[in-house]
Amino acid sequence: MSKRLDHVAARAHLEHARVPRSWRGYFRDVTVALGSAAVVALLAAYALAGPSAELTASVGPAVPRPGTSVLVLGRVLQVDGSGLEGARIEVRRSGRLAGTAVSNDAGAFQVELRGGCSAYAISLRAKAQGSTVGMVSRHRLCPGDALPIDARVVTQGHFLWVPGPR
């Protein structure tokens, strides 16, 4: 019986003995490591390249209208074309706030400004797709001018295709 136990012990020792690795084993390990690193890098790039949103605007020419005030009016639309409620519009003259408005549920807004001819900075800001987007436009306007602005939230998606709604 002792001989049999010695044989079993010797065999177990051989199974745990370190066998020198061939170059194929090293090549396989390096290939697996590089492939794993590439997958992690792609996942990180995907996370960083999430959909981003920006606000684009089409500002038309000033339209003459009857009246003694300047009118800035327009609409802010979501990605799907529906109105974006809660967009903030600020109009500044010489760095000072001249008028503000907030878009309604249809995305429409209107700011009436009193005073003479001047250069105005018109800024639109809105929350869309989890971030705040905005734009600024500068125009010289005079009493009796109406400036139409159509703004829209635009998104750029992932560089990888992902099924489902965005």
Structure tokens at 68: 């003694």
Residue-averaged pLDDT of the chain: 82
Work out the pLDDT band at 166, boundaries 50, 70, 90. Answer: very low
Place of tokens 């170059």: 23
Cβ contact 125:87 at 8 Å? yes
Helix, strand counts (H, E) of the chain: 2, 9
Q: Which residue has the higher pLDDT, 131 or 76?
A: 76
What's this model's pTM, rounded to 2 decimal places?
0.65
The candidate with the shortest Cα–Cα distance to 119, out of 141, 144, 95, is: 141
A 10 A CB-CB count for 141 gives 22
Q: Which residue has the higher pLDDT, 160 or 86?
A: 86
Work out the pLDDT band at 28, boundaries 50, 70, 90. Answer: confident
Distance in angstroms (rounded) separating the CA atoms of residues 68 and 113 = 9
The candidate with the shortest Cα–Cα distance to 90, out of 75, 72, 106, 104, is: 72
pLDDT (tens digit, 9 = 90+) per residue, 40-58?
A: 888 777 666 666 778 888 8
**All structural domains of the chain:** 2-48 (no CATH), 52-156 (2.60.40.10)
